[in-house]
Structure 1
């Protein structure tokens, strides 16, 4: 029980998890508002508004900065990891999603017998626009400032 209490009282764990949860919940709400449909798969899926990866990692960096100081090695490491995660979300993963969209169109345009080896579409919504990453980062910073 002491181990569980130690984990649950560790703000570098709990605050990022809460930030991730809120970001994922906001994705479901965003789909309801924009697309007028209820899609609970958005709660566990990647991509979309806001970036939960950015929320998670920026809240972690913010908590570490508040606890250890902005001049600490720990904050430097967490800030560097945050930059990498956000760059990846808006760069590499977004490009992969765009490529998947093109490949799905290409596969779908083929004759039925030529498509038999493709049992499902490639996942298209895996990255983020820079704006989605920014909003996720702002959410993470807010969560870190409020709860750390």
Structure 2
């Protein structure tokens, strides 16, 4: 039976650990335990960043910084982290504005019976991306886990 690819296992484990840590960071920041945080996007630390940083540091530790695989993982990681704190975060901010606008239209439509307004059953999801510090937290976590995984494997 073949073993699972250690790089994939390291990255997936880092993602899972980061998602689990969101429960703890939510408790620290909000003062309440919320197990649902394990299944959320956004929050501290970024599991996207943890996964790509773990893969990159694992490959770099095994192959060296000048290897093509390290370059590929690094560029892939930078794109993922940029997207997590840029495009996805801004999408969440736009969703918040749309949800507020819809709430305001619902209020206004009550004052004007001739105005037809059908409210959606579900609001848009607002917490999609990450603040830069959350991306950095995930990158540090993943980088450390990838390095440790490579060092443990090589013993």
- Could you list the runs of 4 or more consecutive aligned residues of structure 1 that deviate by over 4 angstroms after TM superposition? 112-115
Q: Give the structure with higher Rg (CA).
A: 2
Show structure 1 runs of 5+ residues with no match. none
Deviations 1:65-122 (A, max 9, x none): 1111111110100000000000000100010010011111111122267553411010
Contact 1:107/1:115 (CA < 8 Å) preserved in 2?
Answer: no
Which sits farther off after the overlay, 77-86 or 14-23? Answer: 14-23
Kindly indicate whether the alpha-carbon contact (under 8 Å) linking 2:46 and 2:138 is maintained by their aligned counterparts in 1.
Answer: yes
1:111 counterpart SS class: helix
* Other-structure match for 2:6: 11
Q: For the residues of structure 1 that align with 2:58 and 2:117, how far apart are their CA atoms?
A: 49
Among 143, 146, 153, the alignment partner of 1:144 is 146
Cα deviation for residue 41 of structure 1 reads 2.1
Distance of 2:99 and 2:145 partners within structure 1: 37
Q: RMSD between aligned alpha carbons? A: 1.5
**Structure 2 SS opposite 1:42:** helix
Contact 2:102 2:119 in 1 (8 A): no
**Other structure's SS at 1:125 match:** coil
Alignment map for 1:11-30 (pairs within 5 Å): 11-30=6-25
Structure 2 equivalent of residue 38 of structure 1 = 33
Question: How many residue pairs end up in the alignment?
Answer: 143
Normalising by structure 1, we get a TM-score of 0.90
